[in-house]
Amino acid sequence: MTDSVKRAAETPDEPMPFAELGMKQDEYDRVKEILGRRPTGSELAIYSVMWSEHCSYKSSKVHLKQFATKAPKSEALLVGMGENAGVVDIGDGWAATFKIESHNHPSYVEPHQGAATGVGGIVRDIMSMGARPIAVMDALRFGAADAVDTRRVLPGVVEGISSYGNCLGLPNIGGEVVFDPCYLGNPLVNALCVGLLRKDQIKLATAPGPGNKVVLFGASTGPDGIGGASVLASATFEDESQAKRPAVQVGDPFMEKLLIECCLELYAADVVVGIQDLGAAGVSCATTELAAKGTGGMTVDLNLVPLRDPSLRPEEILMSESQERMMAVVRPGDIPAFMAICAKWDVPATVIGEVTDTGRLVMTWDGEVIVDIPPGTAADDGPVYERPFHEPAGQAALNADTPDRLERPADLRATLLKLLGSPNLASKAWVTDQYDRYVRSNTVLAQPADAGMLRISEAIEGAEPTTRGIALSTDGNGRYAKLDPYAGAQLALAEAYRNVAVTGAKPLAVTNCLNFGSPEDPEVMWQFAEATRGLADACKALGVPVTGGNVSFYNQTGSTAIHPTPVVGVLGVIDDVAKRVPTGFTGEGLRVVLLGDTGAEFGGSEWAHVEHHHLGGLPPQANLAAEQALATVLVEAARRGLLEGSHDLSDGGLAIALAESCLAKGVGAEIELTGDAFTDLFSESAARALVVVRPEAYDEFASLCGRHDVPCYGLGVTGGASLVVKGVFEVSVEDLRETHTAALPALFG
């Protein structure tokens, strides 16, 4: 029997399964108050998914506001937070849109499909801004590399990203692979997509104009992912997660590739008034959001939704998270042209409704009204929680347990090799070789470069040529954030910002994926509050606004949360992409120069982690003024053609940066240290980078550094087949390579 609005009015006391759908009693009471009656099953479906943590940001909203209130003034920002993705002006009439999003819980339950649909979802977000998606990146975090379950999760996740992303024809140009026991039951799969569009072609998720048609196009709707938004993304994992398998969506990258080309042709033909992708909460989300941002009303006949499984009930259709679907608002006169383009690409398209000015979202099923709600109440007026928070009980003790007590190594060569061969620092080629980094032929830099870089000139056919390129990096460090979430978030931003700058690109804007435990735990909430405050302050200090992102809560098993893990993506622009700075030592006879100062900072370091399994003390100091000065020097030096190569200093410090620089082209170096060798080599002080310059360019470069107060130390010269640290150790590039490349294949086959 269909639970119609009429029936709901007649049976006010019928019990509704709001708790099973993840809704609290007071939230349910608010729905009744809004509607003046009990909701129908379909209405409950809509409110429960739209008010879930995943869709409504009800626990994070009050903190995320800072990204707007503290936002630095930026002329580059064309579309800020709140849309499907932010859009940034990158010059010459071009705009870039980018966003990072989590697909953590699905990737634990079903690694392949969970990760694959994570890529699919973020790509559709980018498409819905009117852009051509041009690249993806993935920031991945797993449990200990040798843990049994990591051998299930990691290969599945990598294969999912590989099969989906490769089939879409999007180069995968970077990202991270990090291992830590804290992620064992809660892997983090954060997918980033970047797209390009002309500045004047931005599309928005809005349904204006009464009489305009609502078109659902792409894949048909099936039972996959039903309740995914509320059941999967908003509940803590307990032991029954295997039982949740059907809630993970199944992806069809081929349909998504057709959707991309189809959408771009629809945009070019100017037959789209408003557009929204169907992600979490599917039809519920698309209809309420489009209607709420448009004229305010919409009618939908749910019987018209093409189904893969004809037995689906309206409640299930509303909650289904079937992939590869989009919803567009189209002028009636444009419908034939719209349909013809969809037919060319074999993309099914169906008119399912119409825009109205009634202020109500009205849906029918078998001729009966089953939904009649003000759409804004579901889309925008969800609950907002001021969750209590306080510093974790053990925080002071954690910070007091500094690495000072740890025994310093006697054999620094052995320490270097041990770190270089440890899973976090070893070559990630086992993973990244499974991703296509070349498709579309615009990839200037890809992993293992510090940042991915793409040329723009030929990304869209027929568009005005430009010499510009964009660079992107994602970074995060859960250990730093565990020790100090405020500083940890700033350090994540600083590293991504630095990684963009070392390639010669000027950092412009930020996206973030905030991965935390349960917001209902005041100690986790404190970590979240501190991290958002730190990130907002740092964005302001560095002049790079947050354009969007995503919050992933409930990353915990039982009462044990993951390390707080803000992952930050930074997008930058390089005026002439031919002047990009490659990673590492690119030739012999070049001066090796260290930029930035080094202190004895080992809290949360790779050395403490690998050698002593120690986590305590404080993370390195985040010196944002120094980061900004360093970036200014790097960008200006690249513009003047002074840099032959560069590399960011981060995890594992100078030792790892030197080793990776040697490995880039198989060129050794001889360097000399002046301070304590262990500190110089393994400290993780921030705001540092390694560059190589031609000897004749050194003076000009050094004076540029001087002008910006960036400390600049000549360490030695590139050349030979070994990395020689005078008076400390010598190790052949061949040994470095063997150690660096053997680790992951040994673990994963």
Partner 1 sequence: MSAARVGVVTFPGTLDDQDAARAVRLVGAEAVPLWHADHDLKGVDAVFLPGGFSYGDYLRCGAISRFAPLMEELVPAAKAGLPVIGTCNGFQILCEAHLLPGALTRNASLHYVCRDQRLKVEQTGTAWTNAFTPGQEIVLPIKHGEGRYVASDDTLAALESGGHVVFRYVGNPNGSLNDIAGIRNEAGNVVGLMPHPEHAVEELVGAPSTDGLGIFTSILKNLVNA
How many Å is the maximal CA-CA distance in the chain? 88
Q: How far apart are CA 115 and CA 118, in angstroms?
A: 5
Window of 428-436, 512-520, 690-698, 728-736 that interacts with partner 1 by CB under 8 A = 428-436
440 binds partner 1 (CB under 8 A): yes
587 binds partner 1 (CB under 8 A): no
DSSP character string of 471-521: EEEEE--HHHHHH-HHHHHHHHHHHHHHHHHHTTPEEEEEEEEEE-S-TTS
Window of 224-232, 270-278, 419-427, 430-438 that interacts with partner 1 by CB under 8 A = 430-438
Is 612 designated active site?
no
At 205, the amino acid letter reads: A
How many CB atoms within 10 Å of residue 581? 28
Q: Give the residue from 518, 673, 515, 440 showing the smallest Cα distance to 188.
A: 515
Q: How far apart are CA 376 and CA 359, in angstroms?
A: 9
Q: How far apart are CA 78 and CA 28, in angstroms?
A: 37
Which one of residues 309, 368, 380, 436 is an interface residue with partner 1 (CB under 8 A)? 436
714 binds partner 1 (CB under 8 A): no
Helix and strand numbers (H, E) in the chain are: 25, 28
Q: At which residue do the structure tokens 């969800």 appear? A: 382
Collapse the DSSP code of 219 into the 3-class scheme (helix H, G, I; strand E, B; otherwise coil) and give the result. Answer: coil
512 binds partner 1 (CB under 8 A): no
Whole-angstrom CA distances from 514 to 97, 431, 477 are 19, 23, 12
Helices (H), ranges, 345-441: 375-379, 395-400, 412-420, 429-432
Which one of residues 258, 339, 618, 724 is an interface residue with partner 1 (CB under 8 A)? 258
378 binds partner 1 (CB under 8 A): no
Q: Which helix (H) or strand (E) holds 253?
A: helix 253-268
Interacting positions 542-581 with partner 1 (CB under 8 A)? 577-578
Q: Which is nearer to partner 1, 252 or 627 (CB)?
A: 252
Catalytic residue among 54, 112, 614, 740: 54
Nearest 5°: phi and psi at 20? Answer: -65, -25
Q: Taking CB under 8 A as the rule, which mask of x and - marks residues 455-484 in contact with partner 1?
A: x--x--x-----------------------
Q: Which is nearer to partner 1, 118 or 165 (CB)?
A: 165
68 binds partner 1 (CB under 8 A): no
Q: How far apart are CA 64 and CA 136, in angstroms?
A: 25
Between the CA atoms of 704, 710, 716 and 721, what dihedral angle is there, to the nearest 10 degrees?
Answer: -100
Q: Which is nearer to partner 1, 98 or 164 (CB)?
A: 164
443 binds partner 1 (CB under 8 A): yes
At 337, the amino acid letter reads: A
| Residue 206 half-sphere exposure toward CB, CA atoms < 13 A | 12
Q: How far apart are CA 736 and CA 585, in angstroms?
A: 14
Collapse the DSSP code of 557 into the 3-class scheme (helix H, G, I; strand E, B; otherwise coil) and give the result. Answer: strand
Interacting positions 310-349 with partner 1 (CB under 8 A)? 345-346
Q: Give the residue from 427, 415, 417 showing the smallest Cα distance to 663.
A: 427
Window of 113-121, 164-172, 238-246, 623-631 that interacts with partner 1 by CB under 8 A = 164-172
188-198 and 132-142 beta bridge pairing: antiparallel
Q: Which is nearer to partner 1, 167 or 369 (CB)?
A: 167
Q: Which is nearer to partner 1, 214 or 451 (CB)?
A: 451
Catalytic residue among 103, 609, 647, 740: 103
708 is in an annotated binding site: no
Q: Give the residue from 597, 595, 625 showing the smallest Cα distance to 698.
A: 595
Tokens read off for 621: 């100091």
CB of residue 490 vs partner 1: minimum separation in angstroms? 34
Give the list of residues 6+ apart from residue 136 with CB closer than 8 angstroms, or none.
119, 122, 123, 161, 165, 170, 171, 172, 173, 191, 192, 193, 194
Tokens read off for 125: 């977000």
Which one of residues 93, 391, 414, 438 is an interface residue with partner 1 (CB under 8 A)? 438
Interacting positions 113-132 with partner 1 (CB under 8 A)? none
Which one of residues 144, 337, 439, 747 is an interface residue with partner 1 (CB under 8 A)? 439
Which one of residues 166, 323, 473, 739 is an interface residue with partner 1 (CB under 8 A)? 166
Q: Where are the beta strands (DSSP E) in 232-382?
A: 274-277, 297-301, 325-330, 349-356, 361-365, 368-373
Q: Which is nearer to partner 1, 432 or 679 (CB)?
A: 432
Window of 7-15, 313-321, 429-437, 688-696 that interacts with partner 1 by CB under 8 A = 429-437
Window of 67-75, 112-120, 438-446, 482-490 that interacts with partner 1 by CB under 8 A = 438-446
433 binds partner 1 (CB under 8 A): yes
CB of residue 258 vs partner 1: minimum separation in angstroms? 6
257 binds partner 1 (CB under 8 A): yes
Window of 359-367, 397-405, 426-434, 591-599 that interacts with partner 1 by CB under 8 A = 426-434
253 binds partner 1 (CB under 8 A): yes
442 binds partner 1 (CB under 8 A): yes
Q: How far apart are CA 734 and CA 720, in angstroms?
A: 11
Is 103 designated active site?
yes
- Any idea what the Cα angle at residue 200 is, between residues 196 and 203, rounded to 5°? 70
505 binds partner 1 (CB under 8 A): no
Q: Which is nearer to partner 1, 13 or 461 (CB)?
A: 461
Window of 142-150, 317-325, 441-449, 508-516 that interacts with partner 1 by CB under 8 A = 441-449
CB of residue 142 vs partner 1: minimum separation in angstroms? 17
CB of residue 666 vs partner 1: minimum separation in angstroms? 12
169 binds partner 1 (CB under 8 A): yes
At 5, the amino acid letter reads: V
105 is in an annotated binding site: yes
372 binds partner 1 (CB under 8 A): no
Q: How far apart are CA 123 and CA 99, in angstroms?
A: 9
- The length of the chain, given as a count of residues: 749
438 is in an annotated binding site: no
Q: Which is nearer to partner 1, 262 or 417 (CB)?
A: 262
Q: How far apart are CA 630 and CA 325, in angstroms?
A: 44
Tokens read off for 672: 């000399």
Which one of residues 52, 60, 113, 162 is an interface residue with partner 1 (CB under 8 A)? 162
CB of residue 722 vs partner 1: minimum separation in angstroms? 23
Q: Does residue 150 contact residue 184 with C-beta atoms inside 8 Å?
A: yes
Give the list of residues 6+ apart from residue 461 with CB closer than 8 angstroms, or none.
none
Window of 253-261, 373-381, 396-404, 410-418 that interacts with partner 1 by CB under 8 A = 253-261
512 is in an annotated binding site: yes
How many residues form the binding site for partner 1 (CB under 8 A)?
33
CB of residue 340 vs partner 1: minimum separation in angstroms? 13
651 is in an annotated binding site: no
Tokens read off for 349: 């398209």
CB of residue 556 vs partner 1: minimum separation in angstroms? 32
Q: Does residue 329 contact residue 212 with C-beta atoms inside 8 Å?
A: yes
Q: Which is nearer to partner 1, 727 or 749 (CB)?
A: 749
250 binds partner 1 (CB under 8 A): no
Give the list of residues 6+ apart from residue 223 with CB closer than 8 angstroms, or none.
246, 308, 309, 312, 316, 320
CB of residue 454 vs partner 1: minimum separation in angstroms? 8
Which positions are annotated as active-site residues?
A: 54, 103
Q: Annotated binding site for substrate: which residue ranges?
A: 102-105, 124, 249, 321-323, 552
Q: Annotated binding site for ATP: which residue ranges?
A: 57, 99, 512, 549
Q: Annotated binding site: which residue ranges?
A: 57, 99, 101-105, 124-125, 249, 277, 321-323, 512, 549-550, 552
Binding-site ranges for partner 1 (CB under 8 A): 159, 162-163, 166-169, 252-255, 257-258, 345-346, 432-444, 455, 458, 461, 577-578
